[in-house]
């Protein structure tokens, strides 16, 4: 499995000279079968726009899996050139919303039509007057559906989804396996919602531990630093220290600290990396990094 970090920023993009090395694009990770093209894309933040380059001029054929629908995870969707073309095939899966199972999931249950459908839920944020076009107006063969807790197949990967605490909208963490390697992905996670946990950084709860168990890499929310948790956990995020603690407890081989605060400069992130330099399993996510698992 090859993993490309296309966007590692949280909340808003962070352009400017202080953000060049770690990058300013918001959440997006492209997953490939070894050296093949990306087939599975995790989140559609603005990092989805540069992800097109990974297709080397070819159309995207695959699945975009959304952890949740906050702006920093969907704003790249209409700017994915490799997906917005007539020969593309794009399946978008977002977490089942409250009530989405009861109505409007379409005659074939795929979430294609109706006010509660996956497409309609996405269109609440992507349609006039908020945006010039709707999801249905993207070129190519786009389809929209819901992901549900549990195991499913997508593009030759096994995908396990579990609900994790965040803020303002249902949020999933994902565990992706190709039968050889495992990637766990939790870019937005607020474990203090479930209690302070042993260090005050949040609970090491069963869903997070199960998603990360024995993973070859855990890409996790590191929006906060430990001293910021008490005052800022209300924003819905985790501390880098919690991410490392979760990786250790779950036996993950590598912890990738991601979803950086938009005002966290390259220098700040160098300092974060230095704090964990003694643990070779910990790395601070930088846009453009390729991780082979």
- Contact positions vs Zn ion (CB under 5 A): 10, 70, 72, 188
How far is the C-alpha of 30 from the C-alpha of 52, rounded, in Å?
10
Pick between residue 10 and residue 50 the one whose CB is nearest to Zn ion.
10
Report residue 130: phi and psi, to 5°. Answer: -75, -30
Residue linked to tokens 């908020």: 130
* CB of residue 107 to Zn ion, shortest distance in Å: 32
Read off the tokens for 124: 């609440």
Pick between residue 2 and residue 73 the one whose CB is nearest to Zn ion.
73
* CB of residue 75 to Zn ion, shortest distance in Å: 11
* CB of residue 82 to Zn ion, shortest distance in Å: 23
* CB of residue 71 to Zn ion, shortest distance in Å: 8
Pick between residue 97 and residue 177 the one whose CB is nearest to Zn ion.
97
Read off the tokens for 130: 């908020």
Query: Left, alpha or beta for 56 (phi > 0: left; psi -120 to 50: alpha)?
Result: left
Please identify the residue of the shown chain whose CB is closest to the bound Zn ion: 70
For residue 148, give every residue at least 6 positions away whose Cβ sits within 8 Å of its Cβ, in sequence order, or none. Answer: 96, 161
173-to-53, 65, 83, 104, 112 alpha-carbon distances in Å: 26, 10, 24, 25, 23
* CB of residue 35 to Zn ion, shortest distance in Å: 29
Pick between residue 188 and residue 216 the one whose CB is nearest to Zn ion.
188
Pick between residue 32 and residue 69 the one whose CB is nearest to Zn ion.
69
**Between vectors from CA 162 to CA 158 and to CA 168, what angle results, nearest 5°?**
135
How far is the C-alpha of 235 from the C-alpha of 39, rounded, in Å?
32
How far is the C-alpha of 266 from the C-alpha of 113, rounded, in Å?
44
Pick between residue 10 and residue 247 the one whose CB is nearest to Zn ion.
10
Residue 104 · residue 75 · CB < 8 Å: no
Burial per residue of 181-197, b for 16 or more beta-carbon CB atoms within 10 angstroms, e otherwise: bbbbbbbbbbbbbbeeb
* CB of residue 173 to Zn ion, shortest distance in Å: 12
Pick between residue 72 and residue 84 the one whose CB is nearest to Zn ion.
72
* CB of residue 13 to Zn ion, shortest distance in Å: 12
Residue 105 · residue 163 · CB < 8 Å: no
* CB of residue 100 to Zn ion, shortest distance in Å: 19
Pick between residue 95 and residue 116 the one whose CB is nearest to Zn ion.
95
């Amino acid at each position: 499995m090859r993993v490309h970090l296309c966007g590692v920023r949280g909340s808003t993009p962070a352009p400017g000279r202080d953000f060049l090395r770690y990058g300013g694009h918001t959440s997006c990770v492209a997953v490939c079968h070894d050296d093949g093209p990306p087939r599975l894309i995790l989140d559609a933040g603005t990092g989805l726009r540069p992800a097109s380059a990974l297709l080397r001029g070819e159309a995207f054929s695959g699945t975009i899996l959304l952890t949740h629908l906050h702006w920093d995870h969907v704003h790249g969707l209409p700017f994915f050139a490799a997906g917005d073309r007539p020969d593309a095939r794009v399946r978008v899966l977002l977490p089942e919303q409250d009530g989405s199972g009861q109505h409007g999931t379409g005659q074939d249950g795929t979430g294609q039509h109706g006010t509660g459908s996956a497409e309609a839920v996405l269109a609440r944020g992507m349609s006039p007057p908020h945006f010039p076009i709707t999801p249905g107006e993207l070129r190519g063969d786009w389809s929209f559906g819901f992901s549900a807790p549990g195991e499913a197949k997508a593009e030759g990967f096994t995908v396990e989804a579990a609900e994790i605490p965040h803020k303002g909208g249902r949020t999933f963490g994902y565990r992706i396996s190709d039968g050889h390697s495992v990637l766990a992905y939790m870019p937005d996670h607020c474990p203090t919602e479930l209690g302070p946990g042993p260090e005050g950084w949040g609970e090491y709860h069963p869903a997070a531990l199960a998603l990360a168990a024995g993973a070859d890499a855990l890409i996790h929310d590191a929006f906060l630093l430990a001293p910021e948790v008490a005052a800022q956990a209300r924003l819905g995020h985790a501390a880098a220290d919690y991410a490392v603690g979760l990786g250790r407890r779950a036996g993950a081989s590598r912890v990738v600290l991601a979803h950086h605060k938009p005002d966290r400069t390259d220098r700040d992130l160098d300092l974060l990396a230095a704090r964990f330099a003694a643990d070779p399993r910990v790395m601070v996510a930088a846009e453009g990094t390729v991780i082979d698992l």
